[in-house]
C-alpha cells in the first residue's frame, strides 16, 4: 500500500506537474488559451487508456461473452426526449446580473457557506487543517478569500445542516437559500438572478435543413437499448445476455474545475445486461460470493454516518442489502477489474444510492467510489434499471422490445384484450386511424379493464389520443374489450436491465493518485506504480553507454521483446542510467533492462523492477520470459525471478 | 482472387442482406425511423473494426514508434477558423423553392445529365450495361425514371465533357449549368434556387453562456498540430517524428446515400509525420523500395486517361512522380497495411491529385482508392502538406511551432532584427503593448526590411495592428530595425507535415466487397473471407452433438484457446454442422474445430478452413498451435497443417 512506500506525503501539485511534464494529459487547445473541461491525452496517457480499455474488453466482453455495439454519438431529439434526458438532464445555474458571469447554483452555495464556516473557525482561533487549506488552494474555487468573521452558533448549525444535504435541493430551493443567506458573486458581491435550469446536452442540427434537432449523447446506453431486438436475434434469442459499448459521451458542464474528474467530453464503457425480471439468479455468482467488499448502504447514510460495512458479496445479497444476485455479481466483477488495473482497495467503497437520489424506476443502485484528494468520487455506477428503458422506447415507437421464455409447463392466463374493427377504422378516422389503433393496443391491463367497464356501461367510450385533435368516440361496433382465457406455452416479458457504467477518465485519474509516490526523502523522484498490464510501456531498454559494441545486444533484446509482442522503448541517450530510469519511473514503466559490457561475453542482461529497484541478472531469454509472465500471465516478481542471480553491480 | 472463387457474380444486394442479417452494421435509430448517414456496428462489425484498429496501431504506431495523441472532438471556432475549415469546408446545395427539398448541387447535375445520357442511349437502341442498371437501382438516386429521349450529338458531347470535370466546378458554375440545361427537381420538375454554400461542420455552443462557439471536428489533424511543441518535447527534441490519432470525426453531409461510404460520423486514423523540409529522405525507404504499386499520376488523368502505371515505389520517387522518399515510404506502408487486412491488390490504385484539386500549399498528394460497386473510392489520403498547418496556427497564436537542428558546421546568417524598447512600450500603448509587441516580432524578413527602410527614410513608421484601434506610430526611440550578422550553430525551421489519413469505415466496407463471395452454384451460401488477423472471431467450436460426453472435450479445447488468447465461440445448438458452419462463413470465422466421438478416445479434433473447406485431424495442441501460427504469426495453412492428417469423415 502507498502508505508504506515513502515518507513524503502525497501532493497533488507534484503529481499534476509530473503528469503534465510527461504529457499524460494536458488542457486541449492550450495555445489558443484552452477550453475548460476539455483535455488531450499525450502518448503515455493514450497508451495507459488503451491498455485499460483492452483489459476492460477482456475482463467483461470476452470473459462474459457480451455483445459489443458501437452506436453513434449524434442522437436525434426524439430518442433523448423519450429517455428523459431532454427534460431532466440538467443542472441549476444562476447569473450575475451585472457581469454576466454564470455559476452552478449548488456548487456556489456550497462554496460560500464552506468559506463562511472557515472564516468563523479562524475568528474563533480554531486551526484550519492542512487538508482544508490544500482544498481551497487547488480546486480553483470561486471564493478566493476567507474572511475572519465569527458566526452565531445557531447559524453554524444551519450551515452545517444545509451542507450535509446539498445534493438534495431543487433549483427553487437553492434560490431561496441564496436569498435567505445573501449569497452573491464572491468576486464582486454582485446580485444573482434566481437559478434557472440548464440542460447539459450539447445540441446541434443534423442535415442541411436545420429541422432535425440532435444532441451529442450524454451516455452510450440509449444506442444499446435501441438495438435490443437485433442483439437478441444475434444471440439466437437466448436470455440473459449483455451488450456493451465503449465510446465518448458529452456533458456541457456549467463550470468544470476539477481536472479529469469533471470534463465535457469523456470516455465511457457501459454494459446493459438484460435479465428476466422473475429470475435474477446469476449462474456464476458462486465464483465471486466470497469476495469481501466495503459497503456504504443507504440506511447507514440516512442515519448520518459514513461508516463502511465490510462483508462478502454473498452475504450482502443474502441479507437483501444488495437487491439480487446479478447486481451482486457485477459489483464483484467491477471490484476485480478495478483491482487488476491499479485501484487501491483501501480507497474503494461501494455506496448505495439513497431513495431520494435514485430514479423512480430503479430497484437498486450502487456506485463504486474512489477516494482522491478531491474526496470520494463516483467512478462506476451499477444500477438495476428495471424494465424502464425498453418500456419507454417501445411505447414511443410501437416496436415490441421483449424476450420470450418457453414455459416448463403451459399455463392458463386471463387477460383483457381489445378487438378492433379495422375495416371501420379507416373510413372513420382517416389519417389518424393508425395513431388511434396504436394508442388502443398499447394500453395496460388496468386501463383496458377501466375502458371495458366504461364501454359496457355507456355503450361508448370517449378518449383523447396524443397527436389527434379533439375527442375520439368509440362504440361497440368499433371495438370490443373482453377478458380472454388463453393457454400460454411461452412467456413474453420486457427484460430488466442491470447497468454497470464506467467513467474511464475518472478511473484513470484516481489510479494516478493511488499509485503515485516519491522515493523516500526525495520529492524530485516520483514513481507511478502502474500495474504492468496497464503501464504505457512495459520495458525500458538501456545500454550502459552508447558504445557501438553494445548495439548488437540492444538489437537482440529488441527482437526477443518484439517476438513476444511486449511494448518497449530504447533509451540510448547520453543521460546517466539513473536519470533514464527516473524518467521512466515517472512514466510508470515497470521494467528496465540494462545492457553492459558483461552482456557481450555471455548475452546476460540486468532486469530492474521499478517499485523496489531490485535487480537480477539472467540470459536474454530468461529475462524476457519473466517480464512476459509478470505482465500478461499474473506472474509475480518473486516467483519469476527466483532462479535468477541478484545483481548489485550498479546503482538504481 | 475473388474471380476464381465462384461462378456466382457479386451482388451488392446479397452482401447487404448478409451484413444486415449478421448485424455487422445497421442504420442507427432504426426503430425511430433512422437518420441518413448514421450507422451502428453490431458485435461482428465492432470486432472487425477493433481488429483493424489494432492492426493499424501495431503496423504504424508501434512499428514506427509514433506518438499517439487523443484530442477532443469538440473544437472551438477559432481553431477551425485558422485551419480554413470555417471558410472552406463546404459543399454547394440548392433548394426546391416549392417543396423545400435540398439537393447537393454537383451530385444533382451529375445524376440528371447521366440519366439523360442513358435515356439517349435507350432512344438510340444502345444497350444499357447491367452495371449501369445496377448502379441506378442501388444508389437510391434522386432520378427515378429514365426517359427515352434522343439528344443531339453535340449535346451528348457537352454532357460527357461536363461529367468528366464534375468535381472541378464552383458553386456559381454549377448554378449556370442548372440554368443552362434546365435542371430541376427530378421528382416534381420544380424550379431550384441558385446553389448556396453549406458548411459541413456540426456546430454547437460550449458552456452555459452560449458565447463560445464550437464545432465537432471534421478531422483529427488539428488536435495533433496544436500539441506539436509538447510532442517534440516528449520526443526529446528529436526530428523527424510522427504523431497519430484514432477517433471519430464528423461531416454534416447534405444528402448521404451510399451506406458506410458516406456517413456523418466516422472513424479516422491519421498520422502527422513532421519532417525537415530540407531533408525528406527516409532512413527505411530501402526496405520498401522494390514494392510494386499501381499508380494513376496527374499527367495521365489530365490527358483524359485512367490507365494505371505499375512500377516500384523506388522508381516512382526516383523519377520524381512521387515527390519525395518520406511520402513514398508512407505510400508503400499504406499498401502493406491494406494487404494485411484483406484489401484486394487488384482493386487498389494510388491516384495523384491533379493541380486543381490540391490545396495551394500542398506539394504532392496521393489517394489510395479502392474499387467497389460504387466505383473507385478514396479510402486513404497521403499528402505532403508542407509547413502550412504549423505556420497558420503559429501566426494566429504567436506561439512558435518550430524544430531545431544542430548544424554540422556553424554558419553566418544575416537577418533583419527588430529591437523593442519595452520600457517605453508600456506607458505609451498601455493595455495594447503586448499586442503591438507580438505583432512586431512576428513580421517576416521581407516585412521587416520594408519597415526598416520606411523607418530610416521617415524617422517613423505608421502601422495598423489587428485588435488595436487606430494607427500606431513608432519612431526610432521605440524600435530599431537593423540587419544583423550572427553565427548560427542551430538551424530553426517549421517542419513540413506528411499526412497519411485513413477513413476506417470506407476501408471496412471495401473489404466486405472484396472478400464476399458465394459458394459455387449456391447464392444462399455466402462466405466472407476476412484474413484471420482481422476476422471478428477466429474459431468456431462445434461439438458434433449436444451429447454430454463431448462436454469435457469442449472445455479442454476452450481452455487451450483461452490460454493462447485466441477469440472463439462455442456453438452447441441443435442445428446441423453444415448450418452452423454456414452461419460462421458469413461471419468471416476462418477456422472451425469439430469435436466428435473419436475425440473421446485420443483427444484428437478436426480443423476446418473456411475458404477451402479443407479439413485436417490432429491433437488439440497441434490444432491450436496451427491456428495461432496462421492467425498471429503469418503462418500459412499449407505449412502449418502439412504434418496433420487430411480428414474426409464429414461433410463441410
Q: Give the cell for residue A482.
A: 373482453
Contact B31 A399 (CB under 8 A): yes
Whether residue B607 is predicted with pLDDT greater than 90 in this model: the reply is yes
Q: Are B507 and B15 in contact (CB under 8 A)?
A: no
Give mean pLDDT, residues B278-291.
97
Give tens-digit pLDDT for A303-345.
878 899 999 999 999 999 999 999 999 999 999 999 999 999 9
Kindly report the backbone phi and psi dihedral angles of residue A336, in degrees, each rounded to the nearest multiple of 5, phi listed first. Answer: -60, -40
Domain boundaries defined on chain B? 44-71+219-388+498-502, 90-199, 409-491, 537-646
Looking at residue B129, its pLDDT comes to 61
Give tens-digit pLDDT for A59-79.
999 999 999 999 999 999 999
Cα(A560)–Cα(B568) distance, rounded to whole angstroms? 28
Looking at residue B359, its pLDDT comes to 79
Give tens-digit pLDDT for B67-88.
999 999 999 999 999 999 999 9
Smallest CA–CA distance from A566 into chain B, residue? B62
Q: Give the cell for residue B286.
A: 530501402
What is the number of alpha carbons within 13 Å of residue B603 lying toward its C-beta? 10
Whether residue A3 is predicted with pLDDT greater than 60 in this model: the reply is no
Is beta strand B460-463 parallel, antiparallel or unpaired with respect to B496-503? unpaired
User: In which residue are the cell numbers 433523448 written?
Assistant: A80
Whether residue A133 is predicted with pLDDT greater than 60 in this model: the reply is no
Q: Are A92 and A197 in contact (CB under 8 A)?
A: yes
Furthest C-alpha separation in chain A: 104
Residue-averaged pLDDT of chain A: 92
Q: pLDDT band at A137, cuts 50/70/90?
A: very low
Under DSSP, the state recorded for A380 is E
Instruction: Give B64's contacts in chain A (Cβ within 8 Å).
Output: none
Is beta strand A292-296 parallel, antiparallel or unpaired with respect to A348-352? parallel
C-alpha closest to that of B594 among B583, B611, B580: B580
Q: Is B250 left (phi over 0), alpha (psi -120 to 50) or beta?
A: beta
Per-position DSSP letters for B608-650, written without gaps between them:
EETTT--EEEEEHHHHHHHHHHHHHS---HHHHTTTSEE--SS
Give mean pLDDT, residues B218-229.
97
Looking at residue B7, its pLDDT comes to 87
Question: Which residue of A25, A43, A65 is the best one to mutate when testing the B interface, meaning the one whose CB has the most B CBs within 10 A?
Answer: A43
Rg, Å, chain B Cα set: 30
Contact A207 B36 (CB under 8 A): yes
Instruction: Give B569's contacts in chain A (Cβ within 8 Å).
Output: 65
Cα(B262)–Cα(B505) distance, rounded to whole angstroms? 9
Contact B70 A40 (CB under 8 A): yes
Between 3.30.70.2740, 2.60.120.560, 3.40.228.10, 3.40.50.800, what CATH number should domain A537-646 receive? 3.40.50.800
Give mean pLDDT, residues A180-207.
93
Bond prior to A278 in cis (omega within 30° of 0): no
Contact B32 A264 (CB under 8 A): no
Cα(A330)–Cα(A378) distance, rounded to whole angstroms? 16
Instruction: Give B36's contacts in chain A (Cβ within 8 Å).
Output: 207
Cα(B563)–Cα(A39) distance, rounded to whole angstroms? 38
Which of A31, A40, A254 lies at the smallest CB-CB distance from B69? A40
C-alpha closest to that of A386 among A350, A359, A356: A359
Angle in degrees, 0-180, between the axes of helices B325-340 and B43-56, rounded to the nearest 10: 150
Cα(A77)–Cα(A70) distance, rounded to whole angstroms? 19
Instruction: Give B46's contacts in chain A (Cβ within 8 Å).
Output: 68-70
Contact A39 B72 (CB under 8 A): yes
CA B262 to each of CA A210, B183, B266: distance values in angstroms, whole numbers, following the listed order = 19, 24, 9
Q: pLDDT band at B130, cuts 50/70/90?
A: low
Distance from CA of A567 to the nearest CA of B (A): 8
- Look at residue B61 and give its three-state secondary structure: helix
ipTM of the complex: 0.89
Q: pLDDT band at B340, cuts 50/70/90?
A: very high
Q: pLDDT band at A132, cuts 50/70/90?
A: low
Other beta carbons within 10 Å of B8: 16
Interface contacts (A, B; CB < 8 Å):
186
Q: Are B369 and B198 in contact (CB under 8 A)?
A: no
Contact A254 B29 (CB under 8 A): no
Q: pLDDT band at A2, cuts 50/70/90?
A: very low
Whether residue B128 is predicted with pLDDT greater than 70 in this model: the reply is no
Cα(A95)–Cα(A106) distance, rounded to whole angstroms? 13
Kindly report the backbone phi and psi dihedral angles of residue A34, in degrees, each rounded to the nearest multiple of 5, phi listed first. Answer: 80, 160
- Please list, in sequence order, all residues whose beta carbon lies within 8 angstroms of the beta carbon of residue B442, skipping any fewer than 6 positions away: B395, B398
Give mean pLDDT, residues B590-604.
94
CATH class (in words) of the domain with range B90-199: alpha beta
Whether residue A129 is predicted with pLDDT greater than 70 in this model: the reply is no
Contact B202 A204 (CB under 8 A): yes
Contact B208 A227 (CB under 8 A): no
Cα(B447)–Cα(A265) distance, rounded to whole angstroms? 42
Which of B29, B45, B248 lies at the smallest CB-CB distance from A76? B29
Instruction: Give B209's contacts in chain A (Cβ within 8 Å).
Output: 100, 102
Whether residue A138 is predicted with pLDDT greater than 80 in this model: the reply is no
Q: Are B315 and B376 in contact (CB under 8 A)?
A: no
Distance from CA of B119 to the nearest CA of A (A): 31
Whether residue B65 is predicted with pLDDT greater than 70 in this model: the reply is yes
Other beta carbons within 10 Å of B341: 19
pTM above 0.95, yes or no: no
Q: pLDDT band at A130, cuts 50/70/90?
A: low
Distance from CA of B351 to the nearest CA of A (A): 30
Instruction: Give B29's contacts in chain A (Cβ within 8 Å).
Output: 75-76, 79, 226
Looking at residue A651, its pLDDT comes to 41
CA A264 to each of CA A147, A258, A259, B208, B531: distance values in angstroms, whole numbers, following the listed order = 33, 11, 11, 12, 39
Cα(A13)–Cα(B439) distance, rounded to whole angstroms? 35
Give tens-digit pLDDT for B469-507.
888 899 988 999 999 998 989 999 999 999 999 999 999
Give tens-digit pLDDT for B422-460.
888 888 888 888 888 888 888 888 889 999 999 999 999
Cα(A79)–Cα(A396) distance, rounded to whole angstroms? 9
Q: Are B553 and B599 in contact (CB under 8 A)?
A: yes
Kindly report the backbone phi and psi dihedral angles of residue A303, in degrees, each rounded to the nearest multiple of 5, phi listed first. Answer: -85, 5
Q: pLDDT band at B2, cuts 50/70/90?
A: very low
Task: Specify the higher pLDDT residue, A433 or A19.
Answer: A19
C-alpha closest to that of A221 among A271, A273, A275, A274: A271
Give tens-digit pLDDT for A455-505.
999 989 998 887 788 888 999 889 999 999 989 899 999 999 999 999 999
Kindly report the backbone phi and psi dihedral angles of residue A283, in degrees, each rounded to the nearest multiple of 5, phi listed first. Answer: -60, -25
Instruction: Give B39's contacts in chain A (Cβ within 8 Å).
Output: 72
Contact A31 B69 (CB under 8 A): no
Which range (A469-478, A511-520, B631-640) has the least confidence? A469-478
Which of B46, B393, B397 lies at the smallest CB-CB distance from A69? B46
Cα(B42)–Cα(A31) distance, rounded to whole angstroms? 39
Q: pLDDT band at B146, cuts 50/70/90?
A: confident
- Euclidean distance between the first and the last CA atom of chain B, given in angstroms as a whole number: 22
C-alpha closest to that of A599 among A543, A646, A559, A642: A543
Is beta strand B292-296 parallel, antiparallel or unpaired with respect to B309-312? antiparallel
Contact A204 B208 (CB under 8 A): no
Q: Are A403 and A239 in contact (CB under 8 A)?
A: yes
Q: Are A69 and A243 in contact (CB under 8 A)?
A: yes
Between 3.30.930.10, 3.90.470.10, 3.40.190.10, 3.40.50.10860, what CATH number should domain B44-71+219-388+498-502 receive? 3.30.930.10
Give mean pLDDT, residues B261-288.
97
Q: Are B105 and B174 in contact (CB under 8 A)?
A: yes
Angle CA B511–B514–B518, to nearest 5: 120
Q: Give the cell for residue B312.
A: 516500384
Q: Which helix (H) or strand (E) covers residue A135, if one does?
A: helix A130-138
| Topology adopted by domain B409-491 | 3.30.720
Give mean pLDDT, residues A290-307.
91
Instruction: Give B41's contacts in chain A (Cβ within 8 Å).
Output: 69-70
Residue-averaged pLDDT of chain B: 92
Cα(A573)–Cα(A596) distance, rounded to whole angstroms? 15
Q: Are A60 and A333 in contact (CB under 8 A)?
A: yes
Question: Which residue of A28, A64, A232, A536 is the best one to mutate when testing the B interface, meaning the one whose CB has the most B CBs within 10 A?
Answer: A28
What is the number of alpha carbons within 13 Å of residue B242 lying toward its C-beta? 23
Give tens-digit pLDDT for A365-407.
999 999 999 999 999 999 999 999 999 999 999 899 999 999 9
Task: Specify the higher pLDDT residue, A303 or A571.
Answer: A571
Instruction: Give A42's contacts in chain B (Cβ within 8 Å).
Output: 67, 69, 227, 230-231, 234
Bond prior to A240 in cis (omega within 30° of 0): yes
Q: Are B604 and B619 in contact (CB under 8 A)?
A: yes
Give tens-digit pLDDT for A149-178.
899 999 999 998 888 777 778 899 999 999
Give tens-digit pLDDT for A226-255.
999 999 999 999 999 999 999 999 999 998
Alpha carbon B233 to its chain's center: 28
Contact A230 B23 (CB under 8 A): yes
Amino acid at each position: 500500500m502507498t502508505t508504506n512506500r515513502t515518507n513524503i506525503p502525497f501532493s497533488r501539485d507534484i503529481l499534476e506537474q509530473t503528469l503534465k511534464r510527461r504529457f499524460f494529459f494536458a488542457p486541449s487547445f492550450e495555445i489558443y488559451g484552452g477550453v475548460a473541461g476539455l483535455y488531450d491525452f499525450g502518448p503515455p496517457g493514450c497508451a495507459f487508456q488503451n491498455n485499460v480499455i483492452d483489459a476492460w474488453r477482456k475482463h467483461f466482453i470476452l470473459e462474459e461473452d457480451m455483445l459489443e455495439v458501437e452506436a453513434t454519438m449524434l442522437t436525434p431529439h426524439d430518442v433523448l426526449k423519450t429517455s428523459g434526458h431532454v427534460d431532466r438532464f440538467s443542472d441549476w445555474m444562476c447569473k450575475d446580473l451585472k457581469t454576466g458571469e454564470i455559476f452552478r447554483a449548488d456548487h456556489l452555495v456550497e462554496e460560500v457557506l464552506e468559506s463562511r464556516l472557515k472564516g468563523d473557525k479562524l475568528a474563533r482561533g480554531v486551526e484550519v487543517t492542512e487538508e482544508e487549506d490544500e482544498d481551497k488552494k487547488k480546486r480553483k474555487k470561486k471564493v478566493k478569500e476567507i474572511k475572519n468573521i465569527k458566526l452565531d452558533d445557531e447559524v453554524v448549525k444551519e450551515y452545517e445542516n444545509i451542507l450535509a444535504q446539498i445534493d438534495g435541493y431543487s433549483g427553487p430551493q437553492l434560490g431561496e437559500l441564496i436569498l435567505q443567506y445573501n449569497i452573491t458573486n464572491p468576486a464582486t458581491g454582485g446580485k444573482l438572478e434566481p437559478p434557472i435550469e440548464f440542460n447539459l446536452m450539447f445540441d446541434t442540427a443534423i442535415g442541411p435543413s436545420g429541422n432535425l434537432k440532435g444532441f451529442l449523447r450524454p451516455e452510450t446506453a440509449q444506442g444499446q437499448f435501441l438495438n435490443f431486438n437485433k442483439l437478441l436475434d444475434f444471440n439466437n434469442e437466448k436470455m440473459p445476455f449483455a451488450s456493451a459499448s465503449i465510446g465518448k459521451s458529452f456533458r456541457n458542464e456549467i463550470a468544470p474545475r476539477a481536472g479529469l474528474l469533471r470534463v465535457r467530453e469523456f470516455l465511457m464503457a457501459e454494459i446493459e445486461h438484460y435479465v428476466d425480471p422473475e429470475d435474477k439468479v446469476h449462474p456464476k455468482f458462486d465464483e465471486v460470493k466470497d469476495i469481501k467488499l466495503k459497503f456504504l448502504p443507504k440506511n447507514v447514510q440516512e442515519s448520518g454516518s459514513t461508516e463502511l460495512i465490510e462483508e462478502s458479496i454473498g452475504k450482502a445479497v443474502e441479507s437483501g442489502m444488495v437487491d439480487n444476485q446479478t447486481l451482486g455479481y457485477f459489483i464483484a466483477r467491477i471490484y476485480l477489474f478495478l483491482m487488476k488495473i491499479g485501484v487501491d482497495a483501501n480507497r474503494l467503497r461501494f455506496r448505495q444510492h439513497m431513495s431520494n437520489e435514485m430514479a423512480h424506476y430503479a430497484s437498486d443502485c450502487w456506485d463504486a467510489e474512489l477516494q482522491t484528494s478531491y474526496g470520494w468520487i463516483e467512478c462506476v455506477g451499477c444500477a438495476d434499471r428495471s424494465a424502464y428503458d425498453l418500456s419507454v422506447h417501445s411505447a414511443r415507437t410501437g416496436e415490441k422490445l421483449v424476450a420470450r421464455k418457453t414455459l416448463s409447463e403451459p399455463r392458463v392466463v386471463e387477460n383483457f384484450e381489445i378487438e378492433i374493427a379495422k375495416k371501420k377504422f379507416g373510413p372513420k378516422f382517416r389519417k389518424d386511424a393508425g395513431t388511434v389503433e396504436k394508442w388502443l393496443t398499447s394500453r395496460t391491463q388496468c386501463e383496458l379493464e377501466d375502458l371495458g367497464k366504461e364501454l359496457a356501461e355507456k355503450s361508448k367510450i370517449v378518449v383523447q389520443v396524443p397527436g389527434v385533435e379533439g375527442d375520439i368516440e368509440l362504440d361497440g361496433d368499433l371495438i370490443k374489450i373482453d377478458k380472454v382465457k388463453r393457454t400460454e406455452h411461452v412467456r413474453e416479458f420486457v427484460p430488466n436491465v442491470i447497468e454497470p457504467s464506467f467513467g474511464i477518465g475518472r478511473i484513470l485519474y484516481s489510479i494516478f493518485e493511488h499509485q503515485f509516490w516519491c522515493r523516500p526523502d526525495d520529492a524530485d523522484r516520483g514513481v507511478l506504480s502502474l500495474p504492468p498490464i496497464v503501464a504505457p510501456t512495459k520495458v525500458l531498454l538501456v545500454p550502459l553507454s552508447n558504445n557501438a559494441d553494445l548495439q548488437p545486444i540492444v538489437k537482440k533484446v529488441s527482437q526477443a521483446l518484439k517476438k513476444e509482442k511486449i511494448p518497449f522503448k530504447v533509451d540510448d541517450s547520453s543521460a546517466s542510467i539513473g536519470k533514464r530510469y527516473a524518467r521512466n519511473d515517472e512514466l510508470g514503466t515497470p521494467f528496465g533492462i540494462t545492457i553492459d559490457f558483461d552482456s557481450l561475453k555471455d548475452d546476460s542482461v540486468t532486469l530492474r523492477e521499478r517499485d523496489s529497484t531490485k535487480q537480477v541478472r539472467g540470459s536474454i531469454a530468461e529475462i524476457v520470459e519473466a517480464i512476459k509472465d509478470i505482465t500478461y500471465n499474473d506472474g509475480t516478481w518473486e516467483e519469476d525471478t527466483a532462479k535468477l542471480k541478484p545483481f548489485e553491480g550498479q546503482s538504481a
